[in-house]
Amino acid sequence: MRILDSVNTAIFEGRVAWDAIDVEAARRSPELLALLREACLVESWFPLHMSELTRLLFDDLEATAIFTIEAFEAYGHYYLLRRYLQHVGGDAPTDDEVVALRRSGRGEAPTDIVRELVNFMGTELFAADFFETIGARSEEPELSRMLSRFAREELVHSDFAKGLLQRMVASDPEVVRRVEEAALGFEHLGSYVLPSLSNAKRDNIALIQRFSRAIAEITGRPLSDAILAEQPGDPDDS
Ligand SMILES: [Fe+2]
């Protein structure tokens, strides 16, 4: 066994009771397996994106620790989702697909750390909800268990990004405007590498409200204030 295989096994394999997986139950929900395949692809790219963010904040010990933890846990999600799909006979991403995804990325390194942290914070909120929703819909109990752990980790990752942004606002109030601009132009990080993303459920209103509340916790004012400030003035005012 290659050394990487044995380390992957030592770290991750024990997190899932492979023999307890109800393969038939898993295969009864191909639409959920397709969603997991998409998540697996996005997670496969996350550690690379974190290394780009690390370059932007290389002398910030808290930020680089956060990016390192995020990269490791995203790698764990990718590894276990792929192993799960292989185990139940789903359409697991291949090595070639993972490499192709990396090459299909934007090709330009990010430069605006505030925008990247807002996108990161929101994406992790969406990811937590995505995993929670699939876990709740799954008839296969081991998958539900695995995804509820992923969801908890994603919430921590989102809070990590929120904490970094709150610290930036505390040292420079001008960051508030940049956070709001980024929130209004929010891009899911998955859209950096995939042409389209699937929703785990139809109605994402509650999730969008949750994102707006998180933004308000950073800026100290409702995001609606920023939306109103963007509107053209009342013609009678002139
Ligand atoms: Fe994450």
The structural domains of the chain, with segments of one domain joined by +, span 22-226
pTM of the model: 0.93
What is the rounded CA–CA span in Å between residue 112 and residue 181? 12
Q: Where are the alpha helices (DSSP H) in the chain?
A: 3-12, 23-27, 30-56, 61-88, 95-103, 113-137, 141-171, 175-184, 205-219, 223-230
Residue 137: CB atoms within 10 Å: 16
CA 179-184-187 angle, 5° bins: 90
**How close is the Cα of 223 to the center of ligand 1, in Å?**
24
Q: How far is the CA of 175 from the centre of ligand 1 (A)?
A: 24
Distance 162 CA to ligand 1 centre (A): 13
Q: What is the pLDDT of residue 229?
A: 78
Q: Which CATH architecture has domain 22-226?
A: Orthogonal Bundle (1.10)
Judge whether residue 234 has pLDDT over 80.
Answer: no
- Res 236: pLDDT: 53
Query: 27 C-alpha vs ligand 1 centroid, how far in Å?
Result: 26
**In this structure, what DSSP letter does residue 235 have?**
G
- C-alpha closest to that of 11 among 52, 55, 72, 84: 72
User: Distance between the two ends of the chain, CA-based, in angstroms?
Assistant: 75
Distance 65 CA to ligand 1 centre (A): 14
Mean pLDDT is lowest, of 85-89, 182-186, 220-224, for 220-224
pLDDT digits (tens, 9 = 90+) for 158-168: 999 999 999 99
pLDDT, tens digit (0-9, with 9 covering 90-100), for 21-56: 999 999 999 999 999 999 999 999 999 999 999 999
User: Average per-residue pLDDT in the chain?
Assistant: 93
- What is the rounded radius of gyration, in angstroms, for the C-alpha atoms of the chain? 19
Predicted confidence at residue 238, as pLDDT, reads 44
Average pLDDT score over residue span 69-87: 98
Distance from the alpha carbon of residue 135 to the mean position of ligand 1, in angstroms: 16
Question: Cα(100) to centroid of ligand 1, in Å?
Answer: 21
Residue listed under structure tokens 């699939």:
134
Q: How far is CA 112 from the centre of its chain?
A: 18
pLDDT at 230: 74
> Ligand 1 centre from 236 Cα, in Å?
48
CA 29 to chain centroid, in Å, comes to 23
